[in-house]
Amino acid sequence: MKYTIMDVAKMSGVSKSTVSRVISNTGYVSPESRKRVLLSIEKLQYRPNGVARAMVARQTQNIGVIIYRQHHPIASHPFYGKILDAILEKASELGYSIFVMTDKDLTSKSADFLLEKRVDGLILVSKLNHELIDYFKNMYIPFVMVNGTCDHSDVIHLVNDDERGGELAAQHMLSLGLTAVSVISGPLEHRSHKLRLEGFQKTYQREGFTLDDDRIYYANSSQFDEGYKGFQQLWERSPNFKALFATNDMIALGAIKAIYEKGLQVPEHIAVMGFDDIDYAAMANPSLSTIHSSKTKMGHDAVSILDKEIQGITTTKDLPMYVPELKVRYSTKGTK
């Protein structure tokens, strides 16, 4: 059974505010009352959380950042790492310190740790389940979601217009006459990969071209190795496509490696398009055509918006999505 601060107060024979003062170590509490409270906490195995402490605490100028991601790397990932760098930069500018947690499992463990550190607010990066969102809402602590959405209209979430990005990728390939196309998609349980694929497919369908199932490889992760493996499997199924779209750049770069190992050239034999515009995209050989997503702006905005929420300044929850931008490079016969 999970006990509350009220249970501790009742067992100790003191008020809830007295228990709060003991937990936060602020204000006067008589030695006798303090002893009773501490004994009750030990007997109930009550773990003080950030909410209990925050009842009497002032702002700490600390923000917690949790990156939920099942696969490694996490903080060093070229997409999430860029967002994190932007968060750290803006937080420093506004006078906040940052606690960063990474979690492979969608649980409240990292959040509990940060709340116990008495952070003023949370930035939650990547996808979340409804149970976690409800958990954060019940904590009455300001939080902002980055690169993830939910059905709660009162939750602030910052996302790219990924479906539009998929449309831009398809329009670019179609403008080059690339109709024999295959796709490597990241896991569809991730909002971004799902919408990117949908935008790409719908655009081709509007032009009268259907992407059959044997033209799509559904990857288990969004990593380089999955792009490498995905191309190999697509080529074994039907080795006559002239273009490849990957729903992120790491997948695209893995596919390019596999293409070269087949003795083929990019873009001469197969044009390749990615998504995200990570730093590696421009540095690759050939340089990778991709869709630019607003990683740095999302990170900056997350801190700025959370700062206003912490200060009690009302912000709109219905924020516009970030507009993607086509980056044409050599991998689709663009400028090198």
3-state secondary structure of 182: strand
What does the chain come to in residues? 336
Cβ-based burial of 318 (10 A; exposed 0-12, middle 13-18, buried ≥19): exposed
For the chain, what are the domain ranges?
5-54, 62-159+296-320, 162-292
Q: Looking up tokens 């228990």, which residue turns up?
A: 19
Tell me: pLDDT of 4 over 70. Answer: yes
Do domains 62-159+296-320 and 162-292 share one topology? The answer is yes
Tell me: pLDDT of 306 over 90. Answer: yes
Distance CA(241)–CA(212), nearest Å, equals 12
Q: Is 118 within 8 Å of 53 (Cβ atoms)?
A: yes
Q: Which CATH code, of 3.40.50.10440, 1.10.3720.10, 3.40.30.10, 3.40.50.2300, is assigned to 162-292?
A: 3.40.50.2300
Q: Looking up tokens 């991998």, which residue turns up?
A: 331
Distance CA(46)–CA(28), nearest Å, equals 21
* C-alpha 202, offset from chain centre: 25
Second-level CATH architecture of 62-159+296-320: 3-Layer(aba) Sandwich (3.40)
pTM: 0.78
Per-residue model confidence as pLDDT tens digits over 70-85: 666 777 778 888 999 9
Q: Which structure tokens are listed for 181? A: 């196309």
Per-residue model confidence as pLDDT tens digits over 7-50: 889 999 998 888 877 776 666 788 888 889 888 888 887 866 55
For the structural domain made of 5-54, what CATH number should be given?
1.10.260.40
pLDDT reported for residue 314: 72
Q: Which structure tokens are listed for 187? A: 């896991």
pLDDT reported for residue 232: 97
